[in-house]
Structure 1
């Protein structure tokens, strides 16, 4: 899933209250990370996700090259791949989250209880799931000047780490998030762009899927 950086800053009053929803969005998210280890080896990772958000639900899906036809023949209690399986998160009326992994090959909707969120790389935060960067975290960042062309720039520095966020004020999502250390040994960048809405929202294409509990798949 999308790697959410810890952000924080002063925000416009419109974002001061805790936000639980915002405008519908269809987004493509490009993630890049680079580290240089003590061994001097430079390691780079890139991946792209698509995010569809509507009021009280978010679908996050990594773009993966077509898999061989034989890979859909798994049976039994095979464990879902949290990296490649789409995640569908809904916010209930009481604020509780319903998180599911979707396996298209096996036509399964796998409900994941909060105690297993760590297993699937989910931090359990609705704010960072819906907005990609939690608006509340911007409160402790420094706003750089006034918004320009609909984008407010934020920055924070903590020790050797600098984080910068380009926040789309109207769309309520970060167009760009960058973090880098002062020594040039680590850098992360997330670029977000608007895409067309799918003809059918993915959660409306789950008819006939078997619903199971994640705990039932544990050995």
Structure 2
């Protein structure tokens, strides 16, 4: 998400503005991670997601196979079957998160093959790999977290670079000031044995926003699917 550049002060106004007036965005997110183990084996992972954010809701969907995001997949790709219960696969199932008026979140996994939405209460967020934080869900990197980083150099091509170092770990965020999302997030250790990189680009809005295609879907609770 080199050469040392001049460190400048963070702009509290830009962070406050991000929380008050966030723009709608349609984003393509490319993830890459690499870990080199003590056994000498290097393991690399890549995947791509599409994110659509509008005011108080965010839709995140991983691209699967040649069908891409939104393609119909077999039930085996969407869920696991354990002892007669169908468990949604949080990796391949789209996730729809809405922020309620009281600040609480309504998080749902979408199972197109089953034509149902699965509401996940906060006590089960860990089961699906969701941190429950609206800031990082909506902005991908919470603008408030930038306060704990240092701004490196001036804004260039609309991007402010932030950096933090903790022990042997370095994190860099290239923040799109106008768009209010990270164009790039990178973290790596001093030994080169681990690296994570996220690249974000703008895409066209879909003809119909995905949460508007859920008419007729059943609604169930995640807890009903547990053994």
Q: TM-score by structure 2 length?
A: 0.88
Residue pair 1:168, 1:175 contacting (<8 A) in 2 also: yes
Once the two structures are superposed, what CA deviation does each residue of 1:166-216 show, in whole Å capped at 9, x if it has no partner? 000000000000000000000000000000000000000000100000000
In 1, Cα distance between the equivalents of 2:78 and 2:157? 50
In 2, Cα distance between the equivalents of 1:70 and 1:89? 22
Q: CA deviation at 1:69?
A: 4.9
In 1, Cα distance between the equivalents of 2:13 and 2:183? 18
Corresponding residue SS for 1:215: helix
Corresponding residue SS for 2:192: coil
2:33 maps to 33
Matching of residue 92 in structure 1 with residue 90 in structure 2: no
In 1, Cα distance between the equivalents of 2:223 and 2:9? 41
Structure 2: unaligned runs, 5 residues or longer? 2-7
Q: CA deviation at 1:14?
A: 2.5
Structure 1: unaligned runs, 5 residues or longer? 4-8
In 1, Cα distance between the equivalents of 2:207 and 2:10? 35
Q: CA deviation at 1:140?
A: 1.0
In 2, Cα distance between the equivalents of 1:59 and 1:93? 18
2:44 maps to 44
User: Which deviates further from its counterpart, 70-79 or 203-212?
Assistant: 70-79
- In structure 2, relative to structure 1, the CA distance for the partners of 1:185 and 1:123 (3 Å cut) is same
In 1, Cα distance between the equivalents of 2:201 and 2:78? 35
2:61 maps to 61
User: Which deviates further from its counterpart, 14-23 or 148-157?
Assistant: 14-23
1:6 maps to none
Q: TM-score by structure 1 length?
A: 0.91
Residue pair 1:27, 1:52 contacting (<8 A) in 2 also: yes
Residue pair 1:89, 1:100 contacting (<8 A) in 2 also: yes
Number of residues of Structure 1 aligned to a counterpart in Structure 2 = 212
In 2, Cα distance between the equivalents of 1:49 and 1:212? 25
Matching of residue 185 in structure 1 with residue 193 in structure 2: yes
Q: CA deviation at 1:60?
A: 0.3
